[in-house]
Chains A and B, each alone.
Chain A
Amino acid sequence: MDTTPEPMVRVQHVSHNFGAHWALRNVTFSLGKGGFLFLCGPSGAGKTTLLRLLHGALPLGRGAAEVAGFQLKGLSGARVPLLRRQVSVVFQDFRILPGRSVADNVALPLEVRAVPRATVRKRVNAVLRSLGLDDKALCPCSWLSGGEQQRVAIARAIVVNPQLLLADEPTGNLDRALALHLMEIFKQFNTFGTTIILATHNRDVMAAVPGARHLELTDGRVTAASWRDADLEVAPAEPEDGPARPKPGGRR
């Protein structure tokens, strides 16, 4: 599935701690453009921390990482929005604005990019249609079921044709049938060229994308991977010179 050698994500020896707790330890891997990667592992393995680092929600302290052409090490606050215009994120808890309509929520990233209104309308309608939400466009999101709200979050993520889509347990709150349906949607967008990294510990979900890569994290370390290349280190390693000092204001 990873057909192009040019990496969309390159992570090298990345470690991250919250106080005395190490959430990531010496993680190294890369993923080419158009790739599909499952981050798997138990709760607390570091999947969410890795995803947060990749979209600039946490500052990168130790190691190096490049995402969609952005070097995350020392990435200034002013450049974080630029990174996020290339990288869309879907969360387990949806993170949509419940008081606003479905169409308003999906249009949000386009408005932020100053896309003309006519284009916004056209693209929002197209995405909602593709996700079966076109009849709910004007409904406030608070009226929708969990599955529908998750589809709104996905619609918001893909409406801008991101280079990279990060999804953190996007099927965690959904039943099996709905989860598999969403995986079909992810697969479809992956075939259109969007690189996807999806964190999950659901084996059914992983089985739904047979050609995808798998990277297993345990206690912050890469403990298994479904492929081998020069940019991948599976051997767990401790950071060499003790815990890195956490930076103030860890959120962005």
Chain B
Amino acid sequence: MIARMARLLLRGVADLGRNPLAQALTLCAVTLTAFLAGLFLLLLVNLNQALLSAGGDFVFQVYWAPGTPEDALRDQWARLDALPGFQAKTTYTPAQALDELGLALGGEAKAIGGLTGGALPPTAVVSLRAPEADPAVFVQQTLSALQGLPGVADIHYSALQVDLARSWQRFARTVLWPLIGLLGFTAALVVGNTVRLSLAGRRDEVDILRLVGAGRWYIQLPLLVGGAVQGLAGGALALGLLALAHLALADLAATPPLNMTFAFLPLGHCLALAGGMALAGALASLVALRE
């Protein structure tokens, strides 16, 4: 039974060599469809990544009440490193803050000549990167953590940035990923139809097999394997082409003014692309036989 099954599976692969030209054309069509779908996915994934990372970078300006002891300040500034998504921080004692202000004012520095260090509050500018979860939640959690620090008088951050990040996430969730799903479905339909048409040329063979008493699986299994192999091969070749396209695009994206990191598709996406093509090929074989 197992040997018979193995023979049928192998026959499905061997049958692909029976009409090389038709099979090659089918493979080309499957590869190009998968490549176009993959390219779109690659661009969207990178765009999504770029927008999320830009929208996910938050800068908090934390002000302590004037007169907070410097030891306590330094201790709290050290604890800022432990905040989730911590990227960088710059701290200013009142004296440092005054120096910075003087430098920033340049020619107008004499206007603050009478001020002492105590006139400005101790400050920390903390850069954080939100994880991919809801940025608003992240901001709220960070605010709570910062407000919990003793002596913190005020905190500033950009609320507009939160809205932007949130909007992009909502857009991605409601439009982009369904669009990618639709694109995948369309690609599967095109691939399926191509495989189905290539099987139409083997209708006589199927009729003759039925005539001599072949059962359903004897006929279906090799065709199903053939369709799946065609889809898988097309998907794998498309991934190869995508890798080449990625090299060119990554170079392009790395140059100014973009200066973007252009990543290749994650492994899960690659497997989904190749697996989806294989599944479409196999299903198309089944549909072709039922017609």
Residues on A facing B (Cβ under 8 Å): 55, 57, 77-78, 80-85, 88-89, 95-97, 99, 108-109, 112-114, 156, 252
In whole Å, how far is A230's beta carbon from the nearest beta carbon of chain B? 32
Contact for A84 among B204, B205, B213, B216, CB less than 8 A: B213
In whole angstroms, what is the CA distance A156 to B214 when docked? 14
Contact present for A96 and B215 (CB under 8 Å): no
Known contacts A112-B218, A114-B4: A95-B213 contact under CB 8 Å: no
In whole Å, how far is B235's beta carbon from the nearest beta carbon of chain A? 29
B103 contacts A by Cβ under 8 Å? no
Contact for B212 among A77, A78, A84, A114, CB less than 8 A: A84
For B206-218 the 0/1 string (1 means CB < 8 A from A) is 0111111111101
| Chain B at the A interface: SS class | helix
For B190-231 the 0/1 string (1 means CB < 8 A from A) is 000000000000001101111111111010000000000000
In whole Å, how far is B88's beta carbon from the nearest beta carbon of chain A? 70
Query: Inside 8 A of A113's CB, which chain B residues have their CB?
Result: 213
In whole angstroms, what is the CA distance A171 to B79 when docked? 98
Known contacts A99-B18, A112-B218, A114-B4: A81-B208 contact under CB 8 Å: no
In whole angstroms, what is the CA distance A113 to B216 when docked? 13
B18's closest neighbor in chain A, by CB?
A99
In whole angstroms, what is the CA distance A97 to B214 when docked? 15
Given A80-B210, A112-B218, A252-B210, 7 additional A-B pairs, CB 8 A? A55-B211, A57-B211, A82-B213, A89-B211, A95-B204, A95-B211, A96-B208
In whole Å, how far is B222's beta carbon from the nearest beta carbon of chain A? 12
Contact present for A97 and B210 (CB under 8 Å): no
List 5 A–B pairs whose Cβ atoms lie within 8 Å, in order of A's numbering: A78-B215, A84-B211, A84-B213, A108-B208, A112-B218
Residues on B facing A (Cβ under 8 Å): 4, 18, 204-205, 207-216, 218
Query: Inside 8 A of A55's CB, which chain B residues have their CB?
Result: 211
Contact for A97 among B208, B213, B218, CB less than 8 A: B208
In whole angstroms, what is the CA distance A77 to B207 when docked? 14
In whole angstroms, what is the CA distance A80 to B219 when docked? 14
In whole angstroms, what is the CA distance A252 to B18 when docked? 25
In whole Å, how far is B11's beta carbon from the nearest beta carbon of chain A? 10
A112's closest neighbor in chain B, by CB?
B214
Query: Inside 8 A of A252's CB, which chain B residues have their CB?
Result: 210
A96's closest neighbor in chain B, by CB?
B208
Known contacts A95-B207, A97-B204, A99-B18: A112-B4 contact under CB 8 Å: no
Q: Which 7 A-B pairs have the closest CB atoms?
A: A84-B213, A109-B212, A85-B213, A112-B214, A81-B215, A81-B213, A108-B212
In whole angstroms, what is the CA distance A96 to B212 when docked? 11
Contact present for B209 and A112 (CB under 8 Å): yes
Query: Inside 8 A of B218's CB, which chain A residues have their CB?
Result: 112
In whole angstroms, what is the CA distance A109 to B210 when docked? 10
In whole angstroms, what is the CA distance A85 to B204 when docked? 19
Contact present for A156 and B4 (CB under 8 Å): no
In whole Å, how far is A178's beta carbon from the nearest beta carbon of chain B? 23
In whole angstroms, what is the CA distance A219 to B145 when docked? 94
Known contacts A97-B204, A108-B209: A78-B4 contact under CB 8 Å: no
Query: Inside 8 A of B214's CB, which chain A residues have their CB?
Result: 81, 112
Query: Inside 8 A of A95's CB, which chain B residues have their CB?
Result: 204, 207-208, 211
Query: Inside 8 A of A83's CB, which chain B residues have their CB?
Result: 213
In whole angstroms, what is the CA distance A108 to B212 when docked? 7
In whole angstroms, what is the CA distance A77 to B219 when docked? 14
In whole angstroms, what is the CA distance A231 to B212 when docked? 29
Contact for A112 among B18, B205, B207, B212, CB less than 8 A: B212
In whole angstroms, what is the CA distance A170 to B104 when docked? 103
Query: Inside 8 A of A57's CB, which chain B residues have their CB?
Result: 211
In whole angstroms, what is the CA distance A80 to B215 when docked? 9
Query: Inside 8 A of A97's CB, which chain B residues have their CB?
Result: 204-205, 208
Query: Inside 8 A of B207's CB, which chain A residues have their CB?
Result: 95
In whole angstroms, what is the CA distance A252 to B210 when docked? 8
Query: Inside 8 A of B212's CB, which chain A residues have their CB?
Result: 84, 88, 108-109, 112, 156
In whole angstroms, what is the CA distance A85 to B207 when docked? 15
In whole Å, how far is B217's beta carbon from the nearest beta carbon of chain A? 10
In whole Å, how far is A90's beta carbon from the nearest beta carbon of chain B? 10
In whole Å, how far is A150's beta carbon from the nearest beta carbon of chain B? 15
Query: Inside 8 A of B204's CB, which chain A residues have their CB?
Result: 95, 97
In whole angstroms, what is the CA distance A108 to B216 when docked? 15
In whole Å, how far is A238's beta carbon from the nearest beta carbon of chain B? 33
In whole angstroms, what is the CA distance A84 to B209 when docked? 10
In whole angstroms, what is the CA distance A156 to B204 when docked? 16
In whole angstroms, what is the CA distance A108 to B218 when docked? 12
A109's closest neighbor in chain B, by CB?
B212
In whole Å, how far is B223's beta carbon from the nearest beta carbon of chain A? 15
Contact present for A112 and B213 (CB under 8 Å): yes
Query: Inside 8 A of A85's CB, which chain B residues have their CB?
Result: 213
